[in-house]
Structure 1
Amino acid sequence: MKVKIITVGKLKEKYLKEGIAEYSKRLSRFTKLELIELPDEKTPDNASEAEKIAIMAKEAERILAKISEREYVMALAIEGQQFPSETFSQTLANATLSGYSTLTFIIGGSLGLAPEVKKRAHQLVSFGKLTLPHQLMRLVLIEQIYRAFMIQQGSPYHK
């Protein structure tokens, strides 16, 4: 199985890049990892609702262009399902058993994800009601993917 993480916006902070690189290295023993970073749209400070919808639509177009029909898609959204790490691990395992060769995660831009991206997803996932910077969420997500693989291996890492 291959894991793909599609994100909107450029990762800037060195400490986050280093953390993501570390977990990418750890994940390489379980799966091929592809990180896709898409440009975000500039959002004016006082953007109207119509401007926000247009911005999300442009970002959605870029995101959807990176997803094929054969991918199991999990989009991160505040209204998504929350579950413990063990259930997250089982969800990843089940996607593989269902015949999907690529498991794709999507982290949207600062305005979130357009409805068409959420509709394409097989599952909406939330890591809680806290608001985290999108760049930090990348590190949290990749660590949780690594944790899911370690759980599947019966590793004490999860303890």
Structure 2
Amino acid sequence: MEIRILSVGKIKEKYLNDGIGEYAKRLGRYCKLKFIQVPDEKTPDKASEALNTQIREIEGERLQKHIREQDYVIALAINGKMLDSVQLSEKIAALGVQGTSSITFVIGGSLGLSDQILRRADYSLSFSPMTFPHQLMQMILLEQIYRSFRIINHEPYHK
């Protein structure tokens, strides 16, 4: 199975890149992992809602260019469905059994995802009603995907 992480913005912090690298290395034995990053738009302080929407749309168009027809798209959205780790592993396993060969997780920028991306998504996933920095979210997501594959393969992982 191919897991694609499609995100807005470049991760500049070394500690996040180190963590992401560690989980990417661990995931190598379970899936083919691919990272795709698109540029983020500068968001001025106190931007109007109209400007925020325009920025989300521009970033959404950049993301959309990397979503293939065959991808099962999981959008990370604050109002998506919350799953625990076992439920996420069951979701990934079920997709594999159904013949899904590529899952694309989409992480928006600081303003979230455009309506266009949310409409294209096959599933919306929320990690919490709290807001996380989108750069940190990539590492959290990878840890949960890694945990999912450990669960799917009946391998121990700390709780």
Does residue 60 of structure 2 align to residue 56 of structure 1? no
**Large movers: runs of 4+ above 6 Å:** none
Query: 2:111 is aligned with what amino acid?
Result: L
1:145 is aligned to 145
- Tell me the alpha carbon deviations over residues 94-140 of structure 1, each in whole angstroms, 9 at most, x when there is no partner: 11222221110000000000111011111100001121111111100
1:21 is aligned to 21
Secondary structure of 2:104's match? strand
Q: Is the 8 A contact 1:147 1:158 kept in 2?
A: no
Q: Report the Cα offset of residue 83 of structure 1.
A: 1.2
Provide TM-score, normalisation by structure 1. 0.97
Aligned residues: 159
Does residue 135 of structure 2 align to residue 130 of structure 1? no
Secondary structure of 2:157's match? helix
Structure 1's 119 and 158: CA in aligned 2 closer, same or farther, altered over 3 A?
A: farther
2:7 is aligned to 7
Query: 1:38 is aligned with what amino acid?
Result: V
Structure 1's 72 and 10: CA in aligned 2 closer, same or farther, altered over 3 A?
A: same
Secondary structure of 1:156's match? coil
1:116 is aligned to 116
Q: Is the 8 A contact 1:150 1:158 kept in 2?
A: no
Secondary structure of 1:10's match? coil
2:43 is aligned to 43
Q: Report the Cα offset of residue 158 of structure 1.
A: 4.4
- Tell me the alpha carbon deviations over residues 37-63 of structure 1, each in whole angstroms, 9 at most, x when there is no partner: 110001111211111111111101111
Secondary structure of 2:72's match? strand
Does residue 67 of structure 2 align to residue 67 of structure 1? yes
- Tell me the alpha carbon deviations over residues 45-86 of structure 1, each in whole angstroms, 9 at most, x when there is no partner: 121111111111110111111011111110000000001100
Structure 1 gaps, min length 5:
none
Identity, % of aligned positions: 51
- Tell me the alpha carbon deviations over residues 1-56 of structure 1, each in whole angstroms, 9 at most, x when there is no partner: 10000010110110110000000000000111001111000111121111111111
Query: 2:148 is aligned with what amino acid?
Result: A
Q: Is the 8 A contact 1:4 1:104 kept in 2?
A: yes
